[in-house]
Amino acid sequence: MLVALIALAGVAATVGAPREARAEIATQYQTETDLTCQCGCGLTVHSCNHLNCGSGIPLKKEIAEQIATGKSREEILSYFTAKYGEKILSSPTTTGFNIAAWTVPFVVIALGGLIIGVVLVRWRRATDVPAVPATATPTTDPTLRAKLERELDELERRS
């Protein structure tokens, strides 16, 4: 309930605010969601729900101060990356090793699926039993045939 009231108050503040103020609020929101709170909660600076967070509150103030001086979102993110390292970013960059970290798992899964598919197709082909042609006549030994007939007749007599 309290969160809904705070959100409603934030929306009301932005509706009545001039265009520049709304842009600053949007930039602050975007910047806060691009940065991870350093208190250990694992949330973004904007989402950190600790009441007296020793990291989130000062970061929010520092972001607001930098926006007030006219810095862009990219400049602010660069500043915090230089200050804290890439660990402060809520999503990894798409440069250097991070590209491999994002793409290699998908490539491995695709290659694994392809290999499994090829193995299954080859396995299926190897186990297929060729059909007996309809024109082929079974060859039987006449002595075996006679023995079978005698044993069937003897079986019928017993039953």
pTM of the prediction?
0.50
Express each pLDDT in 74-85 by its tens digit.
Answer: 999 999 999 998
CA distances from 133 to 31, 128, 130, 152 (A): 74, 15, 9, 29
The mean predicted confidence, pLDDT, of the chain is 81
Is the distance from CB of 146 to CB of 154 less than 8 angstroms? no
Q: Is residue 96 very low, low, confident or very high in pLDDT (cuts 50, 70, 90)?
A: confident
Q: How far apart are CA 40 and CA 56, in angstroms?
A: 10
Task: Give the dihedral sign, CA 121/124/126/129.
Answer: negative
What does the pLDDT average to over 13-21?
Answer: 53
- For residue 45 the two structure tokens come to 């600076």
Q: Which of 4-13, 28-37, 80-89, 105-114 has the lowest mean pLDDT?
A: 4-13
